[in-house]
Amino acid sequence: MTEFVLALGWVGIFAPMALGAVASSIGCSIAGQASIGAMLETEGGYGRFVGISAFPSTFVIYGIVIMFTLNREVTVENAGGLFGVGLLAGIALLYCGIWQGRACAAAINASKEKPEIFGLALAPAAIIEGFGVFAFVFALVISAGIA
């Protein structure tokens, strides 16, 4: 049983990085596909479409920083805290990355028809980024209290 508890602690340490990488991959894929479609339908402005499609890449960075912050000797006493903080922060990053990719895709699709709303169309993606930052900061602050 002790080995299982310790394994959960290790899962908690590495979950934010893994789930953040999945989040960034899916989010960038969703936005990237919309970017490619927009490039086929417009005569210019390709750089901004590609730039928007990279927005969700930040979630893997947050996950890596959380992983390094949680990285410590895993004991029976701290395994539960590491597991809880790491897994829940990773899940939050996962959802933020996927939904930010969808928001970026919507911004790309809207701005290809009406280029003047480009900046305003990015507001939902920026709000979702804020939620990812909240999860990031939460994990960093809480991790300080884990032995």
> What pLDDT is recorded for position 147?
85
Q: What percent of the chain is predicted at pLDDT more than 90? A: 88
pLDDT digits (tens, 9 = 90+) for 45-93: 888 999 999 999 999 999 999 999 999 999 999 999 999 999 999 999 9
Contacts of 64 (CB under 8 A, 6+ apart): 16, 17, 20
Instruction: Judge whether 133 and 69 are in contact, CB under 8 Å.
Output: no
Write the DSSP string, 121-147.
Answer: HTHHHHHHHHHHHHHHHHHHHHHTT--
Distance (Å, whole) CA 118 – CA 52: 10
Helix 123-143 to helix 58-70 angle, to the nearest 10 degrees? 10
> What pLDDT is recorded for position 121?
93
Question: What structural domains does the chain harbor?
Answer: 2-143 (1.20.120.610)
135 pLDDT higher than 90: yes
Query: Residue range 17-44: average pLDDT?
Result: 95
Is residue 113 very low, low, confident or very high in pLDDT (cuts 50, 70, 90)? confident
Residue in the block written with tokens 């590495």: 14
Please count the CA atoms within 13 angstroms of the CA of 30 that sit on its side-chain side. Answer: 21
